[in-house]
Amino acid sequence: MEAAPSIETVVQFGDGDSIREVPAPRLAVWLFLTSEIMVFGGLISCFILLRIAHGGWDAEAAHVHWRIGAFNTLVLLTSSLTMALACTSAKEGKEGMARRLRTYLGFTILLGLTFLGVKACEYSLEFAKGLTPGAGLFWAFYYTLTGLHSLHVLAGIILNSTLWIAAARADLVPVVQRRIEYAGLYWHFVDVVWIFLFPLVYLT
Amino acid sequence: MQEKSAHLVGAALDIRIWEWLVGLLIIGLMVFVMPIPKVVAIGLVFAAAVVKAVLVVRKYMHLAAEHWLLCVLAITPVVLIAGMAIALSPDIAFRQ
Amino acid sequence: MHWLPSDVSTFGPSVDHVFRLILYIVGVWFIAAEGAIILFAFRFRRRPGHAAVHVAGENMRQLAWILVPALVVVFLDFGIDIAAGHAWEEIKLESPKPALNVSVTAERFAWIFDYPGPDGKYGTPDDYWSMAKLYVPVNQVVRVDMRSMDVIHSFAVPNLRLRQDVVPGRTISAWFEATKPGTYEIECTELCGSEHYRMQASLVVLSDSEYARWQHEHWSSIASKPSSSASAGVKQ
Amino acid sequence: MSQAAAQRKALQVAHLEELSFIRKYIFSTDHKTIAKQYLGISLFMAIVGGFTAYAIRWQLAWPSARIPGVGTITPDAYNTLVTMHGTIMVFFVAMPFLLGVFGNFCIPLMIGAGDMAFPRLNMLSVWTFLVGSLILLASFFVPGGAAAAGWTGYAPLSARPDLTPAVLGQDMWIVALALEFSSFLMGGVNFITTALNMRAPGMGLWRVPLLVWYEATASVLFLLSVGPLIGGAVMLLLDRLVGAGFFLPAKGGDPLLWEHLFWFFGHPEVYVVALPGFGIMLEILPVFSRKPIFAYRALVYCALTATGLSLIVWAHHMFISGMDPRLATPFTVTTILISVPFAVIVFAMIATLWGGSIRFDTPMLFALGGLTSFLLGGVTGIFLGSAATDIYLHGTYFVVAHFHYTLFPVTFFAGFAGLYYWYPKMFGRLMNETWGKVHFWLTMLAFQGVFMPLFFSGIAGTPRRVFAPNEYPLFKAIQPLQVHATIATVTLLLVQIPFVVNFFWSLRRGKRAEANPWLANTLEWCVPSPPPHANFAHTPRVRRWPYEYSVPGARLDWSPQTESGDTMLPAAGGQ
């Protein structure tokens, strides 16, 4: 929802005010992501610093299933693609847009659920080996980082599902068409976090 | 790669980006399994990760075409975190 | 200034010097600023026939009124930085060669001091330990290597102008050279639990002769220690 | 038609239709009601915090004596009181009072918006905050009592359940803080988006009132600094619940890591609170000196500079913490450098007084009282910011006196100033001037009486957070200082009664306020008091800079922002 007659005021008050043209929700989502980067960034830097202090934790790191992690990365990347496609179709708004949007969104949700399912199996494998969050700093970090990320994935799934349901109603399609962009921003951010978590936790 | 996909738009662009992402993922994994010095491997893996992240942020999150203020919002926390990590390293990572 | 407790360390004067320096600088600014506020508030109070002037400080000539003082503040700041930096170096960065080396163990809620004994080595039977009393010779550089068994404590001796947190999991060293025989307070100044306020000890600075006598009396005898402090004394 | 237009229309509709009591006063999305809800919560928490202060001070003056209304307390209870006093006052009084109340109430009104950018998010934020406050209060009554590891919650003391009696209490403390943080994250996102995006036509960035600038800047600072501590809170909770060991050396963790994470947020937090406080004073000074604010744009740049600097000074809380001593001097430099933007702000305030025609109404008195008191807090910060003197003063009552001299003026003096100033706009009636002045002078005197002696007790070396200062031979002699501070504290708390009475009495009996009782320029004064649901019947067009008082040749000595004809060049321009 951009504020009042923007162009006119921009002309009147110079470039500093072109920010008025950015839809408020987009600005808000980015502000929210800014604080999210600080949260994950803080945790990740703690992880890196302590890992260096403890000489790399190679022994512990050998126990994580990097193949499963790689598969999950692929899943999440693909979900990002379907999300992007959903947003693109919403932006283009050609005929049959609502149908395409729901299909892509549906795929995104399914892929998200797949990610969580795989993660759950992974956790249970580690728990079976007694590698719980209390089993040492590496595992504490492993569960904190991936767990927090999984919670974000869950939140994203819920967010997308609400849009998916709403998109079924013709009268709400315009709303979804507008809001899917913001859900997309969040979903891609969660993906970016994983892009760094995967090599951090699995490949080093 | 931006140049390559510059002429693409809409869905086609999204798919091209995805191809790049998967490609980089595979590269990262290959580096990981190949018998090369760990430092180099880690360097390459993270380089790939950074490129992936930049692709997603610029294309999927459209930051490439956004108002400069949003770019500032995205970059500032990264810089801050880097600074914090550097300031903490003598205490936490390399103490004594 | 006279509120500061008597200073009995070699680096105490540097700390007090910086303290005094800052006190004078900010004192002047503080009085000037408060004076200006009170003066203006009185001088420009609402009175019939006195309209306010229309000055917005938007041109350089007017801005100078606040920017020039601000510039002076910057210079004084760097002055303080330099003075403080030197004192800090003297106290925390350089540590002169110690004549005596004491291992300090902080444990809720007590201070334990381990001496290497005549052979100057820890973990040997002739180690001497003392609870809540740190005996040191006057005019000698003493180095304390501090460890904590549980939580963060802080080793503070107001008369020495010395304070250093003791963090579990690390050995943190400090040094001091007492210049006057006597008994001074050692406090824990980091909240460490219920009896925190009781976690005190005393620093006993002995003249050379007294110190020699004290050494002769105690260091020869083999003291038995409580296990915890023993582990503390021997471990590292 | 643009979404904003649609939204304005929707708001006007909502304004016309009558809302049910619940929607109007309890689950309200109206920024004015939400501001009042924050006001209620924060004033209640202030009473709780004040009561803890009373118990603490009594114990310090007459150790182990019966505290009237409390009884004798144990050392553990004392630690709990100290911990909760800090937590409550900083996170559950200062922030909701300065950001929650004045941010929510003033930002939309001052920029000519109907409401916040996201009214429902705003409501969510206040309710999250309420839940956090309730959890914190409940923690007093759980077995083991409330948190007792200090408001800084240093690990391992806070990270191991076996070290303090507060087992559940410390967990609840962490949860309450996490909720408080998320509440103000939502609020902050809302503030910034509203300030940037909901401005009325003509309200260029250089026509935005300073309070809006300062609230928004503070929110940015909060957004940028709190993240690592949220992560840290998760880690601390895991340490306590599953023995993860992030901060436990026995498990390879590092206690200094918590200190860094805490202060990386903890220091900016001071400015998150200070900036809105200064914003309020900066709004009030020109109105009551009938004079333009001095160096408006310099003041904006100061806020931004202070924000930037405050993110790189945190380690000055850790000079003697065992961190790498080589870090001390760089952090000393940044720390002492941050005195510069605040010096400029103070100079600009003084320059604003010069040549004015000053009216000493209650808001002005509190603003000046805040300024004069904050000065002492500001300059004493230099002693603690320079590493060398910090060795001696760290952890003494000097620190206590210093941060009370900074936080009390910005929270209570500036806060009261703002309350007396905007009360007519909030409730449609003016507070009683006479009792307001009585409230100010007694508060001013009592406040100095509490904390002035503590500076000396600190210079003498008395450590803070001790159950019984008279247990230290070195400080037996200066016990009278503690007694003095305690008597002053009791006075300070008692003299708040006139304020409370005045507040509630004026709600019903106060003199009716017209739209613009103080003859001020900013937009909130061109709508009726209290403003209707959507604030502005139709979006105002802003034609002026907000601080045009006593324009030469003008008929009146104030010129509302909606009036045409700028004289303040270049400030009026956008560039």
d(CA D314, CA C31): 29
Under 8 Å between Cβ of C33 and D346: yes
A85 contacts on B by Cβ (under 8 Å): 11, 14-15
Q: Do A2 and D205 touch (CB under 8 A)?
A: no
Neighbours of chain C (3+ CB pairs under 8 A): D
Under 8 Å between Cβ of D417 and D284: yes
Question: In sequence order, what are the residues at sequence separation of 6 or more whose Cβ sits closer than 8 angstroms to the Cβ of residue D541?
Answer: D200, D201, D202, D562
d(CA C93, CA C107): 26
* Model confidence pLDDT, tens digit, residues D490-518: 999 999 999 999 999 999 999 999 999 99
Q: Do D340 and C172 touch (CB under 8 A)?
A: no
Interface test with A, best of D192, D197, D242 (most A CBs within 10 A): D197
**Residue-range definition of the domain harbouring residue A54:** 6-202
What distance in Å separates residue B48's CA from the closest CA in chain A? Answer: 9
Query: How many domains, in total, are found in chain D?
Result: 1
Per-domain boundaries in chain B: 1-65, 66-96
Q: Do B84 and D256 touch (CB under 8 A)?
A: no
d(CA B56, CA B70): 15
Of A45, A78, A84, the CB nearest to B81: A45
d(CA D425, CA D517): 9
Per-domain boundaries in chain C: 12-93, 100-235
Angular region, D230: left φ>0, alpha ψ -120 to 50, beta rest: alpha
Q: What's the complex ipTM?
A: 0.91
The vertex-C56 CA angle with D202 and C35, nearest 5°, equals 140
Neighbours of chain B (3+ CB pairs under 8 A): A, D
Q: Identify the CATH number of the domain in which residue A67 sits.
A: 1.20.120.80
pLDDT at position C144 over 90: yes
Average pLDDT rounded to a whole number, residues C122-130: 84
Helix (H, G, I), strand (E, B) or coil at C62: helix
- Do you know the residue count of chain D? 575
Average pLDDT rounded to a whole number, residues C51-57: 88
Whether B74 has its CB under 8 Å from any CB of chain A: the answer is yes
Assigned token pair, C39: 């003066």
Assigned token pair, C113: 């001091």
Of B56, B92, B94, the CB nearest to A192: B56
Say how many C-beta atoms besides its own lie within 10 A of residue A174's C-beta: 12
Of B80, B88, B90, the CB nearest to D311: B80
C-alpha pair distances (Å), D123 with each of A2, C108, D119: 21, 46, 6
What distance in Å separates residue B2's CA from the closest CA in chain D? Answer: 30
Whether D228 has its CB under 8 Å from any CB of chain A: the answer is yes
Establish whether the linkage from the previous residue to A115 is cis, with ω within 30° of 0. no
Q: Do D323 and B91 touch (CB under 8 A)?
A: yes
Of B76, B91, B95, the CB nearest to D224: B76
* Model confidence pLDDT, tens digit, residues A71-104: 999 999 999 999 999 999 998 888 888 899 999 9
**What is the Cα Rg of chain A in Å?**
20
- The answer as to whether A70 is a domain residue is yes
Q: Do D197 and A35 touch (CB under 8 A)?
A: no
Question: Between residues 362 and 401 of chain D, which touch chain A (CB distance below 8 Å)?
Answer: none
Q: Do D387 and C191 touch (CB under 8 A)?
A: no
Task: List, as one string, the DSSP characters of B8-71.
Answer: --HHHHHHHHHHHHHHHHHHHHHHHHS---HHHHHHHHHHHHHHHHHHIIIIIT-GGGS-HHHH
Q: Distance of alpha carbon D155 from its chain centroid, rounded? A: 26
Question: Between residues 234 and 263 of chain D, which touch chain A (CB distance below 8 Å)?
Answer: 234-235, 238, 242-246, 251-254, 257, 261
Of B69, B83, B92, the CB nearest to D257: B92
Under 8 Å between Cβ of D145 and D94: no
Q: Do D324 and B95 touch (CB under 8 A)?
A: yes
Average pLDDT rounded to a whole number, residues A147-163: 97
What distance in Å separates residue B60's CA from the closest CA in chain A? Answer: 6
Stronger pLDDT, B8 or C116, i.e. the higher one: C116
D257 contacts on A by Cβ (under 8 Å): 46, 49-50
D74 contacts on C by Cβ (under 8 Å): 194
What distance in Å separates residue B58's CA from the closest CA in chain A? Answer: 11
d(CA D563, CA D544): 7
Question: In sequence order, what are the residues at sequence separation of 6 or more whose Cβ sits closer than 8 angstroms to the Cβ of residue C134?
Answer: C102, C104, C111, C113, C144, C186, C201, C202, C203, C204
pLDDT of A4 = 38
Question: Between residues 63 and 122 of chain A, which touch chain B (CB distance below 8 Å)?
Answer: 66, 70, 73-74, 77-78, 80-81, 83-85, 88-89, 92
pLDDT category of residue A10 using cuts at 50, 70 and 90: very low
Whether A171 has its CB under 8 Å from any CB of chain D: the answer is no
A33 contacts on B by Cβ (under 8 Å): 73-74
B83 contacts on D by Cβ (under 8 Å): 312
Q: Do D327 and B88 touch (CB under 8 A)?
A: no
d(CA D315, CA D337): 14
pLDDT of C123 = 82
Q: From the CB coordinates, do chains B and A have 3 or more pairs under 8 Å?
A: yes
Angular region, C55: left φ>0, alpha ψ -120 to 50, beta rest: beta
What distance in Å separates residue D238's CA from the closest CA in chain A? Answer: 8
Whether D170 has its CB under 8 Å from any CB of chain C: the answer is no
Q: Please choose, from the candidates A45, A40, A114, the residue with its C-alpha nearest in 3D space to the C-alpha of residue A77.
A: A114
pLDDT of A18 = 81
Fold topology of C12-93: Helix Hairpins (1.10.287)
- Please tell us whether the domain made up of C100-235 is placed in CATH 2.60.40.420: yes
Q: Do B77 and A38 touch (CB under 8 A)?
A: yes
pLDDT of C1 = 59
Question: Between residues 111 and 130 of chain D, which touch chain A (CB distance below 8 Å)?
Answer: 113, 117-118, 121
What distance in Å separates residue D300's CA from the closest CA in chain A? Answer: 14
Query: How many domains, in total, are found in chain A?
Result: 1
Q: From the CB coordinates, do chains C and A have 3 or more pairs under 8 Å?
A: no
pLDDT of D99 = 96
pLDDT of D355 = 92
Establish whether the linkage from the previous residue to D570 is cis, with ω within 30° of 0. yes
Strand partners, C102: C144
Whether B76 has its CB under 8 Å from any CB of chain A: the answer is yes
Strand partners, C157: C162
Nearest CA in chain A to D542: A9
Nearest CA in chain B to A186: B61
Q: Identify the CATH number of the domain in which residue D300 sits.
A: 1.20.210.10
pLDDT at position A2 over 60: no
Nearest CA in chain A to D181: A35
Whether D470 has its CB under 8 Å from any CB of chain A: the answer is no
C185 contacts on D by Cβ (under 8 Å): 472-474
Q: Which amino acid is at C4?
A: L
Helix (H, G, I), strand (E, B) or coil at D386: coil
pLDDT of D183 = 96
Give chain D's residues under pLDDT 70.
1-19, 565-575
Whether D347 has its CB under 8 Å from any CB of chain C: the answer is yes
Average pLDDT rounded to a whole number, residues C5-29: 94
Q: Do A24 and D227 touch (CB under 8 A)?
A: no
